[in-house]
Amino acid sequence: MNDCIFCKIVNGEIPSYKVYEDEDFLAFLDIHPQSPGHVQVIPKKHYRWVWDLPNVGAYFEVVQKIARAQQKAFDTEWILSKIIGDEVPHAHIWVFPNKDVTGDPKDFEGNLKKIKENM
């Protein structure tokens, strides 16, 4: 989709802090984080809704991988996930530590490093 911001991130037209990438999925830090390490997990192919993906199980395996890394990186068991879909018309899942974790939500380089070291 030409005007989709997430498709532009997938295509490299807009820079991002990539936490994880494989053939089908991309996970990157949210630029308006709810807490340190807030990640968006998206399919690389454009789907409007999470429920439109043909293999939603593979999608959730990536989300689980990110959540487990965040638990270790931010020393918390409390990782939140959110699926609404009204902000950007491209399937996405928010995965982020509880707001009580310490750290600067806007320390993108530091938060990226913490998560990647625990993947």
* Catalytic residue chosen out of the listed positions 32, 46, 90, 92: 92
Phi, psi of 75 (to 5 degrees): 50, 55
Question: Is 32 noted as a catalytic residue in this protein?
Answer: no
Active site amino acids: 92
